[in-house]
Amino acid sequence: MMAEQLKTGWPQRVERQQDVIDTVSRILSEVEHEGGAAIRRWSAQLDHWEPESFVVSADRIKAAAETVDEELAGHLEFARAQVESFAQAQRATLTDLEVETMPGVVLGHRHLPVSKVGSYSPGGRYPLIASSIMTVTVPKVAGVDTVVAVAPPRDANGIYGPQLYTMNLAGADVILCLGGVQAFAALAFGIEDVPPVDLVVGAGNAYVAEAKRQLFGTVGIDLLAGPTEVAVIADETADARLVAADLLGQAEHGPNSPALLVTTSRDFGTAVIAEVDRWLEGDWPTKEVAGAAWREHGTVVVCESREEVVQVSDAYAAEHLEVQTAEDDWYAANLRNYGSLFIGPEATVAFSDKSIGTNHVLPTARAARYTGGLWVGKFLKTVTYQRLTADGARTIAPSTAAIADAELMHGHALTARLRNS
């Protein structure tokens, strides 16, 4: 029996739109050649934002703190501490290496932090406060010297108050109020007294993703993220209403956010579809957005066996993957393509999105086949070194010279033989 689709909608490809490509290319080119004048022009045109300086002042940061009540401030500090703690634990696993591979030949590697990082926090439909925690706190744990945090203006005052407060709380060294493509251009080419960064990270819309694609090489990037995705593997032991809620919870990101259920029970798949409908007919808080996403991009697949479930799930390679079955440990051991895995009915994606400690910047559009998400290691360069004695050099030189000669690279061969005398 082949997998049966009770509902189909998950996009198999994310198409790049030519108008997006052309617009991004134009903005980046103008900023590269004109500098701040082009940034100011595009900011005024796209965001109606043309301040005296795009660098957020200390007074504005202080004012933003007054918009955050004590309870929310405590929750934000809790989330920051969890992300910092997990990043520190990850960093501790990355140790430097030095080994003598043969007498007189010492090889090693070191993990060195990137010098300057640009962190973008989206502010479109939702001002993503937690994004700053993920993309500012973690590079600071890695040892990055300067993190330039950027977010678009929310209103005439600039960055949304709680978002600005969180950028500062997370440890940003400089904060810019800029949106979209012009923000990434400012990070890549510099603006005012803020020099260009080495690496840019953070999610955004199609224009942001295209900006990162076109800037790659000028700067490093974390990954190219598309619409948020969620997949749930569940069987008849799961709570259909809870699974339906988790599917809609991620679908509220946008009307193009796909949601997938993979199950071994046709009855359970039908029950989840019915529960989604009940939520949308009832009091689901973001039904307009989540409902559109489910109608266009909701998918339910019924499989004959757990092995087929794994095969189907790995083919989708979802950004977020929940497992709610009677065999959670077996699935956790056998699944391999996902951005982040949520094991058991208590592990909802929202926990990771906001405050549990793992990073919410994750691969989409099947990129989980070949990469994981953002983590402390992304902000480190693993660089190698070699140290040789004269005896060690004489051991290595003959093979090096012979291979170089065979490649017709006789200069390489000469430099090797000079150390074999």
Would you state the pLDDT for residue 1?
46
Task: Give bridge partners of residue 262 from the DSSP assignment.
Answer: 233, 301
Average pLDDT over residues 300-329: 97
Catalytic pick from 84, 275, 319, 322? 319
Report the candidate in 172, 174, 165 with the shortest Cα–Cα distance to residue 137: 172
Q: Is the pLDDT of residue 7 over 90?
A: no
Instruction: Output DSSP code: residue 127.
Output: B
Q: Is the dihedral of CA 174, 180, 182, 184 positive or negative?
A: positive
Task: Examine the residue annotation and report whether 100 is marked as an active-site residue of this protein.
Answer: no
Task: Examine the residue annotation and report whether 410 is marked as an active-site residue of this protein.
Answer: no
Q: In the chain, what are the helix, strand and coil shares in percent, each to the nearest 5?
A: 45, 20, 35
| Torsion from C-alpha of 146, 381, 223, 38, nearest 10 degrees | 40
Q: Is the pTM of this model over 0.75?
A: yes
| Lowest mean pLDDT across 9-13, 83-87, 233-237 | 9-13
Catalytic pick from 111, 253, 320, 360? 320
Mean pLDDT of the chain: 95
Q: Is the pLDDT of residue 85 over 80?
A: yes
Instruction: Report the alpha-carbon distance of residue 233 to residue 238 in Å, rounded.
Output: 10
Report the candidate in 398, 415, 382 with the shortest Cα–Cα distance to residue 96: 382
Q: Which amino acid is residue 40, in one-letter code?
A: R
Over the stretch 241-257, which tens digit does the pLDDT of each residue have? 999 999 999 999 999 99
User: Token pair for residue 327?
Assistant: 């065999």
Q: Is the pLDDT of residue 367 over 80?
A: yes
